[in-house]
Amino acid sequence: MIKFILIFFGLMLFALNGFGSDNNCLSCHFDFEDEGGSASKFAKDIHSQKGLGCADCHGGDPTLDDMDDVRNSKGFRGVPNHLEVPDFCARCHSDAAYMHDHNPSMPIDQLAKYKTSIHGQRLFSAKDKKVANCVSCHSVHEIGNGQMPYSSTHPSNLPATCAKCHSDKDYMAEYKIPTDQFEKYSSSVHGLALFKRGDLGAPACNDCHGNHGAAPPGVSSLAAVCGVCHALEAELFEKSPHADAFLENDFPMCETCHSNHAIFKPSDNMIGTTESALCTECHAADDGTIGLPTADSILTSLNNLVAAHLNAKQSLDEAILKGMMTTNEEFLLKEVVQSLIQARTLIHSFDMDSVAPKAMEGIAKADTVVLNSAGLIDEYYFRRKGLAVATLIITFLAFMLYRKIRKIEQK
């Protein structure tokens, strides 16, 4: 009986130790690693999910039971050091034939781009072990793609991934670059869209700086970077008198007015000659340009349109509150908002002849909304008066009939 029990437990242990398994690496690594170590993390890794094992990266024979035997087995590559990581990953990720078999839609130029990045240049040229390599951003054994919510490269996690190094003052001290980008970005219009509204389409660090080829955009390329999303604004700016002037004075195109990481929500007060306007930072009344008069005219046009929209909305709200059918007016009011958006976009032409017609178009539509809403409100009171008259007539008839009934029944 004892013999039988020993044989049974022996077989159980054998089975638990990966009897017949192709990958013995995990069974040992689970034993000597703490919870949360590489072995336990690897289950979440996209490579594991795609069916790759430890040996596909680290080499060696994973079927062997003894660690020393694995280390001595053919093709064992072990753990790469910081400088070796890019080439270690590129063995597969830059191999077109290999990637075609596993993920044909994935680019294979990550290493080439990385070499052009500031990170790559410092790693390969200066042998700088502090700059980011693949695992700094993608993690080591918990690698996910951009669609996986837990992945370090998912849009909502990406700013924090970059901030791991770039917000660390001590770590970045020797590079002499600011470390407040993440803080500024978090309160910017882009950061709020991503973090507060959960808009995954909002730009994160990589959308402006690139990812594998990460580099800060230069003065001349800034408009192109912003123009990827803000195409109309960029096109209008390029044709405006400001384009050459900014270039000559080394003013970054969008950043000069809108800042870079701390891009705040633009307001109409940014233009004009008031205290909060930005135009006066460069222009003066006697600078010999039409800058300030144009800015004032544009601001007046916008303010008129905003006031017209507000007035139209108030009129329409009153008609809605009275329960009138306002579908057409609501649609027209949306067109007013559209005109306002377009007029604000046209500011980037810095040309009054572009902004004014659009503002006038919006004001005309807003006036129509006011007129129609007033008509609907009049109609509401007409209905009420009509009801009062009808009710009075019906009540009178009912009363007369009641008297007639009383008269008949009294007979």
Partner 1 sequence: MDGTQNGLIKKGYQWLDDRLHINSLVEYMGGKVVPQHSHSIFYYLGGITLFLFIVQVITGILLLMYYRPGADSAYESVKFIVSEVSFGWLIRSIHSWSANLMVLSAFLHMFTVFFTRAYRKPREMTWYTGMGLLALSMTFGFSGYLLPWNELAFFATRVGTGMAGAMPVVGDYLMVIMRGGEEVTGATIGRFFGLHVAILPLMTTGLLALHMIFIQRQGMSEPMHWAGKKQEDKKYMKFFPNFIYRDALVWLIALNILALLAVIFPDGIGVVHWPLGEKADPFGAPPAVIRPEWYFMFAFQALKMLPAHIWFIEGELFGIIVFGIGGLIWILIPLLDRRANENKRSPMIMAFGTFVVLFMVVMTIVGYLVE
Q: Name the site residues for partner 1 (rule: CB under 8 A).
A: 323, 325, 327-328, 383-384, 386-387, 390-391, 394-395, 397-398, 401-402, 404-405, 408-409
Exposed, middle or buried: residue 359 (CB in 10 Å: 0-12, 13-18, 19+)? Answer: buried
Residues 356, 297 contacting (CB under 8 angstroms): yes
Residues 253, 243 contacting (CB under 8 angstroms): yes
With both helix axes pointing from N to C terminus, report the angle between 327-346 and 352-410 in degrees, rounded to the nearest 10: 170
Nearest residue (CB) to partner 1, 325 versus 341: 325
d(CA 137, CA 126): 20
What is the nearest approach in angstroms of partner 1 to the Cβ of residue 391? 6
What is the nearest approach in angstroms of partner 1 to the Cβ of residue 323? 6
Nearest residue (CB) to partner 1, 125 versus 410: 410
Give the sign of the dihedral formed by CA 317, CA 319, CA 322, CA 323.
Answer: negative
Nearest residue (CB) to partner 1, 220 versus 328: 328
Give the sign of the dihedral formed by CA 16, CA 22, CA 24, CA 27.
Answer: negative
What is the nearest approach in angstroms of partner 1 to the Cβ of residue 327? 7
What is the nearest approach in angstroms of partner 1 to the Cβ of residue 387? 4
Nearest residue (CB) to partner 1, 195 versus 380: 380
* Token representation of residue 82: 């910081």
What is the nearest approach in angstroms of partner 1 to the Cβ of residue 378? 14
* Token representation of residue 73: 């087995």
What is the nearest approach in angstroms of partner 1 to the Cβ of residue 47? 37
What is the nearest approach in angstroms of partner 1 to the Cβ of residue 310? 25
What is the nearest approach in angstroms of partner 1 to the Cβ of residue 377? 15
* Token representation of residue 350: 């810095």
Torsion of CA 369, 370, 376, 382, to 10 degrees: -160
In terms of Cα–Cα distance, which of 166, 138, 162 is closest to 150?
Answer: 138
Query: At CB < 8 A and 24+ separation, what contacts does 207-210 make?
Result: 210/113, 210/117
Nearest residue (CB) to partner 1, 321 versus 325: 325
Q: What angle do CA 2, 8, 13 make, to 5 degrees?
A: 125
* Token representation of residue 359: 């503002």
Nearest residue (CB) to partner 1, 264 versus 402: 402
Which residue's structure tokens are 């219009």? Answer: 189
Nearest residue (CB) to partner 1, 247 versus 397: 397
What is the nearest approach in angstroms of partner 1 to the Cβ of residue 411? 10
Q: Which 3 state secondary structure label does DSSP give 68?
A: helix
In terms of Cα–Cα distance, which of 344, 353, 350, 355 is closest to 279?
Answer: 350
The identity of residue 294, as a single letter, is: T
Nearest residue (CB) to partner 1, 180 versus 330: 330
Nearest residue (CB) to partner 1, 12 versus 398: 398
